[in-house]
Structure formats: C-alpha cells, structure tokens
C-alpha cells in the first residue's frame, strides 16, 4: 500500500466520503490500490505521492484539462496574476474580457455571469430562468449537479422514494416540499416533454445537448420550438460538452440556439471558472433576484478562462481531442474483436468510454485498472482526451492494454477473474438519466 492509500485511509476519517468528488474516489477505480493523490501533473502525466510517474488515460481532471495538465501559456497567465494580486475590493477587469469573448462565440447571447463550479453555475441558471419565466416547474434531461433544485427530481411519489427518477442520487437532506418541482424526460422522447408542458407548470427546460449518444437533430429543433411557443426558457447545460467538439457549445454543431447555456470543466483548463450566458431579456431577470458570491470575483478564474480560450483557438484543440477520441474508440473496438470480446462504446468522441456486457463487467474494469497501473498507466474504461495524448502515448497505451484484453478473453472462456484480482471490485457510481 503506497503513501496515497495511507493518506486516503486518514482522509476517510477526517472528510465525509474522503474527498469532494465522487468521480475521484479510489474505490471507483481500484479499491485499496489506486494511488489516490498526486504530487505533480504535466501534459498527460501525473506523479503520485511516492514519486511514481503515471500516464493518465482516464478522466484527465474529470474532463477539465483538454489542453493537458499544466499548459504553459495558461499557467503563465495565472502565475502573472498571482504576482499582481488575485483579490481586492475592486473588480477584476478580466471578467469583462471573458464575458465579451463568450458572447462573441455565441451570437445569440448578450450577457454572461460567472461562478466557479458547474453545480453552482447550473443553480444560477435555474434561478435566473425561473425569475424570467415566472414559473417554478423545470423539465430536465441529463445530469446537472448536486443542488437541491436538481435532486428534487428524486423525491419521487412517496416518502419511501418509490418513484426514484434518477437511480443512484439519494435526495436525503433535500426538503420534501420541493417534490414535484423538477420533472425528468429522456432524450428523443418528445411526447414525454409535451406531456410535461401540457400541465402548464413548466417554465424552464434544462438539458444536456448530448452525453452517452447523439440526440436526434429534429428532437433538438422540436424542443426549441416547444419552448418558444410556450414561453419556456431553454437552457443547454454544456458544462461537460462545451469546447470539446466545437469552439464553444456543442449546440453550435446542431444549429439550435438556447436562451441560456452553462459552461464549465474545460473553460479554465483545470482552474475554477464556470459561466452562464444568455439572451439579454432572460439574463436581466437576475436583477430581480439575489445571486452573489465573494469568490466569484476572484481573478484567477477569469484570467485562466481568457488564456484557455486563446490557446484553444490557436491550437484548434476541439478538433485535436475529437480526432484522438475517435481513434481510441476505433482501436478499442478492433482490440475487442481481435480477442473475441463484445463491448459497447459511448460518449462524445473526446469523452469516450467502453463497457463489457455481462455479470463480470465491473470485475473486468477493475482488472484493467490493476494491470495497467502495474504498467504505469492510470486507466479504466473511459478516456477523456487531451491534446497531450500524443500518438506515441496512445500507441503505448494500446500495447499495454492488449494483454489485459487477452486475460479478459480467458475469463470469458472460463477462467475465474476473481483469482486475478488483488483486491475488491470497483464501486459503481450513480447512473445518469440518459
């Protein structure tokens, strides 16, 4: 057990859950063996607390680092800002520059507000949209964070949560009187959305443009038409999808404009900055409510956002990471075919993942993490691509993965996968609506 796992044991005694993000808990990958903590990160590499260098072929800062860890230009801008001071009683001019840049990238939008996390940015967007529409009801399609407004969708029809609508997200602590304020519908299910709108209660539609698979473009257009016809504020949650397949929101590729959009993760390449943009008539409703926070005004986030956009535009990073992701997906499929294995693939190209079918799927995922860690890789069944995933890194990853797939093929033929594992099977996270 390395220094990271020793520290993780202490963390679980001091911090509920051990850390602040479910997706980074070691149990999600390789219980009792995952390094857990890093001492340094650069490009596509991280170093654990024992100084071991590892190539990251997993979630790359949970999708925040599309330019790779420690991008020189972004870091230089941040370091210069630290030298000049990050916080004062006056405002940071860079937030105006970032707002202007985001509005230029999305001609349908006129104004922007900033936050520092995706969940709070979504909460800000919902507050503004409800104020603008004058109605409390929200129709949702996708994953939108941890705040009460969203988890209210899981309050169901009874105190026993018999009507759980989003498996795996427990609404304990969410006031029960929020039941009935948020209503999920599924991608491409226009009839379900129409039924919700017919109640007359829906004032906001909050949805991801895509996650595990592409939406039907006609569906997106119909959602836009329904929102317009019924005076509903349409929000696209692009916290995950933004800047991965286009320079801005994924919705630009579909030619469907929302009334508001939310951006996070990739916007600051690992520095905390998120944005809510929207039409002026909607965004100005923020003035009718109270939306304010001290650390939304710190300077580093806005500086990092502007610098990240500069580097993205110069390198056309969205094209690079999309091509890398498509190549990885294709090679997973070829590798599985070569070993006689059946897998499914899903996700945006730059957020690609694969899955095995059958009762041993979680055990196989754990085996991959175990074996690949031995070879110097952080790996599981998803790769969030970055420009730092150069061809040599991807080739090395597949060279290392090939014999692991061979072992899985042996297990499919009758070998006990449990005999190959040196610890418990990885945990499963919550299941997203779509």
Average pLDDT over the chain, rounded to an integer:
95
Q: Report DSSP letters for 92-120, one per residue.
A: PTHHHHHHHHHHHH-TT--EEEEESSHHH
What mean pLDDT is predicted for residues 315-320?
Answer: 98
What topology does CATH give the domain 3-70+316-419?
3.90.1150
What pLDDT is attached to residue 159? 52
Measured CA to CA, the distance from residue 425 to residue 157 in angstroms comes to 34
Of 163 and 197, which is predicted with more confidence?
197
**164 pLDDT above the threshold of 70:** no
What mean pLDDT is predicted for residues 385-405?
Answer: 98
> CA 178: distance to chain centroid?
25
Q: Report DSSP letters for 130-175, one per residue.
A: HHHH---EEEEES---SSHHHHGGGS-SSTT-TT-SSTT---TTS-
What mean pLDDT is predicted for residues 343-358?
Answer: 96
3-state secondary structure of 337: helix
- Tell me which of 149-163, 310-324, 411-425 is least confident: 149-163
Reported pTM: 0.96
**Band of residue 158 on the pLDDT scale cut at 50, 70, 90:** low
- In percent, how much of the chain has pLDDT > 70? 97
Contact between residue 137 and residue 198 where contact means Cβ atoms under 8 Å apart: no
**161 pLDDT above the threshold of 60:** no
What pLDDT is attached to residue 42? 98
8-43, pLDDT tens digit by residue? 999 999 999 999 999 999 999 999 999 999 999 999
**167 pLDDT above the threshold of 90:** no
215-239, pLDDT tens digit by residue? 899 999 999 999 999 999 999 999 9
What pLDDT is attached to residue 214? 87
What pLDDT is attached to residue 213? 84
Helix (H) or strand (E) segment spanning residue 15: none
What mean pLDDT is predicted for residues 85-92?
Answer: 98
The CATH class given to the 72-315 domain equals alpha beta
**316 pLDDT above the threshold of 70:** yes
What pLDDT is attached to residue 233? 98
**Band of residue 433 on the pLDDT scale cut at 50, 70, 90:** low
For CATH 3.90.1150.10, list the domain ranges present in the chain: 3-70+316-419
For CATH 3.40.640.10, list the domain ranges present in the chain: 72-315
**163 pLDDT above the threshold of 70:** no
What pLDDT is attached to residue 355? 96
**Band of residue 429 on the pLDDT scale cut at 50, 70, 90:** confident
In the structure encoding, which two tokens stand for residue 382, read together?
């998803």
Q: Are strands 53-57 and 377-379 parallel, antiparallel or unpaired?
A: parallel
Measured CA to CA, the distance from residue 13 to residue 208 in angstroms comes to 36
What pLDDT is attached to residue 212? 83
Contact between residue 140 and residue 184 where contact means Cβ atoms under 8 Å apart: yes
- Tell me which of 131-145, 155-169, 360-374 is least confident: 155-169
What pLDDT is attached to residue 54? 98
């Amino acid at each position: 057990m390395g220094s990271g796992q020793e520290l993780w044991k202490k963390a679980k005694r001091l911090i509920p859950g051990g850390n602040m993000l479910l997706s980074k808990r070691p149990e999600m990958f390789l219980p009792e063996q995952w390094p857990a903590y890093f001492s340094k990160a650069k490009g596509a590499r991280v170093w654990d607390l024992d100084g071991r260098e590892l190539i990251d072929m997993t979630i790359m800062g949970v999708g925040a680092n599309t330019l790779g860890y420690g991008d020189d230009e972004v870091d230089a801008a941040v370091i210069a800002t630290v030298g000049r001071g990050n916080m004062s009683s006056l405002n940071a001019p860079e937030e105006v520059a970032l707002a202007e840049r985001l509005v230029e990238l999305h001609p349908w939008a006129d104004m922007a507000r900033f936050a520092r996390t995706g969940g709070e940015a979504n909460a800000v967007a919902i507050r503004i949209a409800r104020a603008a529409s004058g109605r409390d009801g929200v129709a949702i399609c996708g994953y939108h964070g941890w705040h009460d407004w969203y988890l209210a969708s899981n309050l169901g029809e009874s105190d026993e949560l018999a009507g759980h609508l989003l498996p795996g997200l427990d609404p304990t602590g969410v006031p029960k009187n929020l039941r009935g304020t948020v209503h999920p519908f599924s991608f491409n299910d226009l009839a379900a959305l129409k039924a919700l709108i017919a109640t007359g209660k829906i004032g906001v539609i909050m949805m991801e443009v895509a996650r595990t698979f592409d939406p039907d473009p006609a569906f997106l257009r119909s959602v836009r038409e329904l929102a317009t016809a019924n005076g509903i504020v349409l929000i696209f949650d692009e916290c995950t999808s933004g800047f991965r397949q286009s320079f801005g929101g994924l919705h630009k590729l579909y030619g469907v404009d929302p009334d508001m959009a939310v951006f996070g993760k990739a916007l600051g390449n690992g520095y905390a900055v998120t944005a809510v943009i929207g039409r002026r008539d909607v965004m100005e409703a923020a003035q009718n409510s109270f939306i304010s926070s001290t650390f939304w005004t710190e300077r580093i986030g806005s500086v990092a956002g502007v610098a990240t956009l500069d580097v993205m535009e110069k390198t056309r990073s969205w094209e690079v990471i999309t091509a890398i992701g498509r190549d990885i997906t294709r090679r997973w499929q070829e590798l599985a075919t070569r070993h006689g294995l059946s897998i499914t693939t899903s996700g945006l190209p730059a957020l690609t993942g694969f899955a095995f079918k059958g009762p041993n799927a979680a055990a196989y995922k754990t085996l991959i993490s175990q074996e690949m860690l031995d070879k110097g890789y952080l790996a599981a069944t998803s790769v969030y691509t970055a420009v730092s995933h150069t061809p040599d890194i991807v080739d090395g990853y597949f060279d290392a993965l090939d014999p692991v797939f061979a072992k899985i093929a042996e297990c499919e033929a009758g070998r006990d996968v449990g005999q190959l594992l040196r610890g418990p099977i990885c945990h499963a996270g919550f299941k997203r609506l779509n």
